[in-house]
Amino acid sequence: MKIDPEKLSRSIEQFIRESMDRLERDGVIFGLSGGLDSAVVAALCKRAVCRERTLALMMPERDSGEEHIKDALNLSKELGIETRYFDLSPPLDALGIYRLAPLSRVPLTGRLRGYLLGRAYRYYERKTGETPFSAGVAGLRGKEHRAFMSKRTAYYRSKHRMRTVLLYLQGELENRLVVGAANRTEDQIGYFVKHGCDDAVDVQPLLNLYKTQVRELARYLGIPEKIIEKPPSPDVLPGIVDEEAIGIPYEQLDLVLLGLEQGWQSPEIAEALGIPEKSVLGVKGLNEKSEHMRKIYAPEPPLS
């Protein structure tokens, strides 16, 4: 898991420049959420192509946390990059997305809504033995509470896909390279939205880095400690953070994934990390169920 952050940064910066040249683009564009991954992408893009050719889009909506918005604004000012702000709430509302939200018809504050959603999340896990995230990685056929789950899934995924539309709209108007921020950990367990703003992009500079490696790179790049240390969150469902959704801390998750990648057996990984084998099997199951998110299926070519 050890990296040489200086060497790695230079390599990724070169990759971004070469991608711009290969695809004949005049600049880069990415979503800036206030989270760790997008902050690292912002810093790398600025270093790679200069701040004048770097554009960040902030695309919050009704459920976005004020803390994340402030962190994104502060980072963009610190980096000196152009940032544009788009409120996604009106188009999402016009499409009826908010009517799909749990407790959407109840007048609640964001904090109270988050508290109640967190309790509902934990209730589902106790009731079914798996997290709502794990239950929704593949389809919902035969799942308990299917009606609730289908609305929840459509609700949060539509936000990421709306951001994709905006990124490509602005990117194509200005001939920019669309840069994603998904990391290897998210990719290997399906913790991203298929065809969403971190998946449907031109390039993925962090896709070979586990979350803990991205954090180490962030420190080298001078990302504010506030962003590095705050609990990672998809910021689309109030009250839900990554490690609660996934069910295992990133430090353990990354090592489990590394062990599986290197061919270790589940009992070996569990013993080495001092965690229950059930946790390892859960990660392995996520990796297998999410395979469809990493590839496009097509029928075999017809016989000649």
The tokens of 17 are what? 């420049």
User: 201-213, pLDDT tens digit by residue?
Assistant: 999 999 999 999 9
Every domain of the chain and the residues it spans: 5-247, 248-293
**Which pLDDT does position 104 carry in this prediction?**
57
Cross-sheet strand order for the sheet of 176-178: 82-85, 54-58, 27-31, 176-178
Q: Distance between CA 166 and CA 170 in Å, rounded?
A: 6
User: 191-246, pLDDT tens digit by residue?
Assistant: 999 999 989 999 999 999 999 999 999 999 999 999 999 988 877 777 678 888 89
Q: How many residues does the chain have?
A: 304
Q: Name the DSSP class of 203.
A: B
pLDDT above 60: residue 107: no
pLDDT above 70: residue 184: yes
**Which pLDDT does position 109 carry in this prediction?**
57
Q: Distance between CA 64 and CA 61 in Å, rounded?
A: 5
Query: Is the pTM for the entire model greater than 0.85?
Result: yes
Q: What is the mean pLDDT of the chain?
A: 92
pLDDT above 60: residue 85: yes
103: pLDDT confidence band, cut at 50, 70 and 90?
low
Question: Quick one: 5-247 is in which CATH superfamily?
Answer: HUPs (3.40.50.620)
130: pLDDT confidence band, cut at 50, 70 and 90?
confident
User: 30-79, pLDDT tens digit by residue?
Assistant: 999 999 999 999 999 999 999 999 999 999 999 898 999 999 999 999 99
**Which pLDDT does position 144 carry in this prediction?**
81
pLDDT above 70: residue 102: no
**Which pLDDT does position 176 carry in this prediction?**
98
Cβ neighbours of residue 169 closer than 8 Å, sequence gap 6 or more: none
Judge contact between 40 and 213, C-beta under 8 A. no
User: 268-290, pLDDT tens digit by residue?
Assistant: 999 999 999 999 999 999 999 99
**Which pLDDT does position 154 carry in this prediction?**
93
